[in-house]
Amino acid sequence: METVLETRNLRKVFSAGSREQVLAVDDVSFTVGVGEKVAIIGESGSGKTTVAKLVTRLLAVTSGQIFLDGVDITNARGNTLKQAYRKMQMVFQSPIDSFDPRCTLGDGIAESLRNHGATKAEAQAETARLLTLCGLRADFANCYPHEVSGGQCQRAAIARALAIAPQLLILDEATSALDVTVQAEIMALLNRLQQELSMSYLFICHDIALVQDFCDRVLVMKDGRIVEEGTAEAIIRHPQIEYTQMLIDSVL
Ligand SMILES: Nc1ncnc2c1ncn2[C@@H]1O[C@H](COP(=O)(O)OP(=O)(O)OP(=O)(O)O)[C@@H](O)[C@H]1O
Ligand SMILES: [Mg+2]
């Protein structure tokens, strides 16, 4: 299988002021294949979000390497990083924080399109198409983030992440705050995009049932390290270590 993302020996040490140093991510190596859906599960504080932020370059690595579509982006800046964001997008847990409160949802989505070369008219048309694709009426483009529900805002955030048709979408508890019907619709949309565009996903989620339904492979994190990995089926039905069994038991 062709690889879209590869991390090699990622390590992140936080040294927050007077606090002790925290080894948040330790020797994390994994790949995500083209069209593959990979989950990261693990207890709170195990380093999942930090991995997502290292991969998306929102945080700098302490050591290790990140390859996106074969390009080393570990220390990419400027144009190279901009190119990387054409291939990779991230959706966070809290949708309202990911939009500028002073701009409409449509402006937020169109900005992303215009940054990647679309004209104003093209961006407007594409924004309408994306909102519809994500199950929102096109006129939601005129709403401000505080004027819509959490689920609607999260759909708009996903529409924005999809605006540039990334090869890799990283979702950090992106559907956790949504009610089950909206969540199911969004998962169906993500599945469709995976089939139609061979999109790949790195899916951070504590909902084991969702992971089982949606993902091909699972990475299990504990104390910053990957302690077990395998197909979703194998991990959930036959976990090899007690910690994984505990994670599964604690949510089912
Ligand atoms: N900016 C930061 N400064 C210092 N320590 C941090 C920082 N961000 C995260 N950490 C620490 O790194 C470790 C991993 O945190 P991370 O947010 O990656 O965990 P997580 O697996 O995403 O947890 P959750 O399931 O609660 O979201 C934790 O011990 C956390 O306290
Ligand atoms: Mg987290």
Residues 3-22: tens digit of each pLDDT: 999 999 999 999 877 678 99
CA separation for the pair 23, 102 (Å, rounded): 37
Q: How confident is the model at residue 206 (pLDDT cuts 50, 70, 90)?
A: confident
Which of 10, 14, 55, 219 maximizes ligand 1 atoms within 8 Å of its Cβ, making it the mutation to test the pocket?
A: 14
Model confidence over 139-172: pLDDT tens digits?
999 999 999 988 889 889 989 998 888 999 999 9
pLDDT exceeds 90 at position 186: no
In a domain, 116, yes or no: no
pLDDT at 13: 97
Question: What's the CA-to-centroid distance between 44 and ligand 2, angstroms?
Answer: 7
| Amino acid, res. 148 | V
With tokens 């949510």, the residue in question is: 251
- What CATH number is associated with residue 78? 3.40.50.300
Is the CB of 46 within 6 Å of ligand 1?
Answer: yes
pLDDT exceeds 60 at position 1: yes
**Parent domain of 84:** 3-101+169-251
Cα of 204 vs its chain's centroid, Å = 7
Pairs from 188-191 (Cβ < 8 Å, separation ≥ 24): 189/133, 189/134, 189/135, 189/158, 190/214
With tokens 């294949």, the residue in question is: 33
Q: Give the position, in ligand 1's atom list, of the atom nearest the Cα of 50.
A: 18
Is the CB of 50 within 6 Å of ligand 1?
Answer: yes
- Ligand nearest the Cα of residue 24 is 1
In a domain, 86, yes or no: yes
In a domain, 12, yes or no: yes
Q: What percent of the chain has pLDDT over 70?
A: 98
In a domain, 202, yes or no: yes
Lowest mean pLDDT among 87-101, 120-134, 207-221: 87-101
Contact of 24 with 42, CB cutoff 8 Å: no
In a domain, 27, yes or no: yes
Is the CB of 205 within 6 Å of ligand 1?
Answer: no
In a domain, 62, yes or no: yes
Which span out of 40-54, 94-108, 162-176 was modeled with the highest average pLDDT? 40-54
Residue closest by Cα to atom 1 of ligand 1: 14
Lowest mean pLDDT among 54-63, 124-133, 174-183: 174-183
* Number of compact structural domains in the chain: 1
In a domain, 113, yes or no: no
Pairs from 228-235 (Cβ < 8 Å, separation ≥ 24): 229/30, 232/39
Is the CB of 22 within 6 Å of ligand 1?
Answer: yes
pLDDT at 146: 93
Q: Give the position, in ligand 1's atom list, of the atom nearest the Cα of 53.
A: 18
In a domain, 148, yes or no: no
